[in-house]
Amino acid sequence: MLKYLLLYFVLLISGALYGQEQKKVLVIEIKSNIDPRTTRYINLALEYADKTKAELIILEMDTYGGTVNDAKDIVELLLDLEIPVYVFIDKDAASAGALISIACDSIYMAPGSSIGAATVVVPDGTAAPDKYQSYMKSTMRTTAEETGRDPKIAEAMVDEDIEIEGITKAGNVLTFTVSEAIKHGFCEAKVSTIEEILKRSGIESYEIDRFTLDATEKIIAVFLNPFISGLLIMIIIGGIYFELQTPGVGFPILASLIAVILYFVPYYLNGLAENWEIIAFMVGIVLLALEIFVIPGFGIFGVSGLILTVGSLILVMLNNDIFDFSFVDDKDLFLAITTTITGLAGGIILLFVTGVRLTQTKLFKKIALQSVMESKEGYTSSFLKKDLIGKTGTSYTVLRPSGKIMIEGEFYDAFTRGNYIKKDEKIIVIADEGTSLKVHLYSEEDKLET
């Protein structure tokens, strides 16, 4: 009986050992500048971690930093996690990278790597205004407190004026080597691989899963390419133009609408396109439409619409904070402006080069009206009951260039050849344009002719 009991316990222990589940470890790479795209990437990675029930997250980091706001958003995401997060600094964790590292539960560093230098700088390398430094210091301090690290040391990574005896002197922004970081509690150990981190953490059985963007996200990333953005702008302009040329066809405006969606959505999902920038684009289009269809000519509506439309197309490409371009690199600004102008110019050239050819194609002839109803064949567009050409009257409203006139006690819609006519001025009808009359100011020459 004792022999069977011993055999049972041996089998039970063996089954427990061999049936031990592997710990699910998700590795997320941060190896570029921290910006809105990084925030979206981390969001997607954390959603994937939740979906796959990852038990440990390791950030593999090598970055010189990026925007403070996006780093702060990532820090908040990490601090809210219920599972542990380690960071493996492969080479550099500077500025925003240092902030994200301090938010992790454990920090491991590769030989020759560093952490610190978190002073906020503008694109030309000079220090940003004090308000940004103050915000970064506060964020570094509170993050260090949250994860049990020395907040004064974290602040010294931002402010060169902070002096800590035996650690840093005034005039130097604090940056730790591996040994210094270990000594002062900002690194657990020097390691060369992620596997070494897991071994030091006592994790013997594990499954490493590296997060990668799915096919949909990769396609979205393609549309962030400036060349593709330029092509989409060409389609937007071309589609609107051809729809105006052939109202009711539908295909050109549909192509333009799809191009608008493909242009704005990727930038919006990646945190670059703000709601107000998209609204500005829509308002610009509405103002241009009003200028074309309601208020002939090209005045304040047209100019405002053009500025809003072009401006919004440029701004969605830039990580600006409501016209604050402090952290926008000159190269990015130049690229955004060049891409937009090239796309607009390309669209205009496309209209002139291919517009005539398109109207001659068999497909276009099938969808567009080709017959012409000419007046010599008996067709007329006039809805007026009597001939009013040569009749005189007064401008009932201001004509700029369209408005209302009064002739023999009756009101008519009228417009000028682009001239401005005040209210109650004497006018003469010079042409009948269907539902409207073309008029101009009654002059001495008209008096002689009559």
Taking only the tens place, the pLDDT of each residue in 202-219 is 998 999 999 998 888 888
Q: How far is it, in rounded angstroms, from Cα 302 to Cα 291? A: 5
- Give me the chain's average pLDDT, please: 82
Where helices occur in 19-146 by DSSP H, the ranges are 36-51, 68-79, 96-102, 130-146
Query: Residue range 29-51: average pLDDT?
Result: 92
Q: 167 and 85 in contact (C-beta within 8 Å)?
A: no
Where helices occur in 147-200 by DSSP H, the ranges are 151-156, 178-183, 194-200
> pLDDT at position 63, please?
94
β-pairing, 114-116 vs 392-395, is: unpaired
Query: Residue range 430-437: average pLDDT?
Result: 79
- pLDDT above 70 covers a percentage of the chain that reads 81
Taking only the tens place, the pLDDT of each residue in 106-125 is 999 999 999 999 888 776 66
- In DSSP terms, 34 is beta-bridged to 66
C-alpha angle 399/400/401, rounded to 5°? 85
Q: Tell me which range, 7-16, 30-39, 409-418, is most confidently predicted by mean pLDDT.
A: 30-39
Whether residue 177 is predicted with pLDDT greater than 70 in this model: the reply is yes
Query: Residue range 28-54: average pLDDT?
Result: 92
- pLDDT above 90 covers a percentage of the chain that reads 33
> pLDDT at position 93, please?
94
> pLDDT at position 3, please?
46
Residue 233 is encoded by which pair of tokens?
């702008």
Regarding the domain delimited by 20-210, which CATH topology (the fold level of the hierarchy) does it fall under? Answer: 2-enoyl-CoA Hydratase; Chain A, domain 1 (3.90.226)
Confidence of residue 412 (pLDDT cuts 50, 70, 90): confident
C-alpha angle 213/74/273, rounded to 5°? 70
If 0-12 CB within 10 Å is exposed, 13-18 middle and 19+ buried, where does residue 371 land? exposed
- 379-449 placed in CATH 3.90.25.10: no
Give CA 441 to chain center in angstroms: 51
β-pairing, 410-415 vs 402-407, is: antiparallel
CA distances from 42 to 29, 38, 129, 241, 350 (A): 9, 6, 28, 41, 40
> pLDDT at position 61, please?
96
Whether residue 163 is predicted with pLDDT greater than 60 in this model: the reply is yes
Half-sphere exposure of 130 (CA within 13 A, CB side): 1
Q: 107 and 181 in contact (C-beta within 8 Å)?
A: yes
Taking only the tens place, the pLDDT of each residue in 348-382 is 776 666 655 555 556 555 555 555 555 555 445 55
If 0-12 CB within 10 Å is exposed, 13-18 middle and 19+ buried, where does residue 179 land? exposed
> pLDDT at position 101, please?
96
Peptide linkage before 401 cis (omega within 30 of 0): yes
Q: How far is it, in rounded angstroms, from Cα 291 to Cα 301? A: 6
- 422-427: list long-range contacts, CB under 8 Å, 24+ apart: 422/395, 422/398, 423/395, 423/396, 423/397, 423/398, 424/394, 424/395, 425/394, 425/395, 426/392, 426/393, 426/394, 427/392, 427/393, 427/394, 427/395, 427/399
Q: Which of 342-346, 349-353, 360-364, 419-423 has the lowest mean pLDDT?
A: 360-364
Give CA 114 to chain center in angstroms: 32
- 287-293: list long-range contacts, CB under 8 Å, 24+ apart: 292/244
Taking only the tens place, the pLDDT of each residue in 234-290 is 888 777 777 666 555 567 778 888 888 988 888 888 877 888 888 998 998 888 777
Q: Which of 59-73, 217-231, 253-267, 395-409 has the lowest mean pLDDT?
A: 217-231
> pLDDT at position 327, please?
65
Residue 275's identity, in one-letter code, is: N
Q: Which residues of 44-80 are buried (b: 16+ CB within 10 A; e: fewer)?
A: bbbebbeeeebbbbbbbbbbebbbbbbbbbbbebbee
Q: Which of 195-209, 320-334, 402-416 has the lowest mean pLDDT?
A: 320-334
Token pair 């440029």 is found at: 314
